Structure 1
Amino acid sequence: MAKTCWLERDKRKRKTVEKYAKLRAELKAKGDFVGLSMLPRDASPTRLTNRCRVSGRRRAFMRRFQMSRMTFRELASQGMIPGVTKSSW
């Protein structure tokens, strides 16, 4: 499980993204990329995507399943992910 501080930081980032979403859309429509770069770093929604929802891990992220490699392996071995089976040789 992710540390509580990581989860709280993720919530703060999501609030910041929501706060600046309308302004980002307007600046993108105008093509004002200088104005976009002046916004806070956490205002970009792409900074939220590659993070495991269960463990909070950023590295070894499997985008198709929206989870880290370790979480995927645990859930797959328990049979919790439909259509995924352990390969055998």
Structure 2
Amino acid sequence: MARKSLIQREKKRQKLEQKYHLIRRSSKKEISKVTSLSDKREIHGKLQSPPRNSAPTRLRRRCSVTGRPRGNYRDFGLSRHILLEMFHACLLPGATRASW
């Protein structure tokens, strides 16, 4: 189980990312349209004004059950440990596992 503080930090980053998503997207569109270098610098400065943690690259996918940051499957939102346990318990319909 991941530490609670790390999970809460990640939730805070997700909220910030959603809040500033439109501002970042519109600024990036403006940069691609403008040809003047001075205008691009001005727009780039506006792009840097939101908090750092609002950038989507600072987000980290975590397991929805344990909060584990590594070994996650995007399709399920679970880490490999929990996914394997669910396979063995037959809790994932349609999922087949290898039997040698």
Q: TM-score, normalised by structure 1?
A: 0.75
CA RMSD of aligned residues (A): 2.4
Deviation per CA, 1:21-58, whole angstroms, max 9, x where unpaired? 12111112112684445643321234435222111112
Structure 1 position 24 matched with structure 2 position 55 = no
Partner amino acid, structure 2, of 1:45: P
Deviation per CA, 1:5-25, whole angstroms, max 9, x where unpaired? 233112211221122112111
1:37/1:75 CA distance change after superposition, 3 Å: farther
Aligned to 1:56: 67
Larger radius of gyration: 2
* Preserved CA contact (<8 Å) 1:59 1:68: yes
Structure 1 position 65 matched with structure 2 position 88 = no
How far apart, in 2, do the equivalents of 1:70 and 1:37 lie? 38
For structure 2, the 5+ residue unaligned runs are 32-39
How far apart, in 2, do the equivalents of 1:84 and 1:46 lie? 31
Q: How many residues are treated as equivalent by the alignment?
A: 89
How far apart, in 1, do the equivalents of 2:27 and 2:3 lie? 35
Q: TM-score, normalised by structure 2?
A: 0.68
For structure 1, the 5+ residue unaligned runs are none
Q: Secondary structure at the match of 1:64?
A: coil
1:53/1:88 CA distance change after superposition, 3 Å: same
- Alignment identity in percent? 37
How far apart, in 2, do the equivalents of 1:20 and 1:67 lie? 27
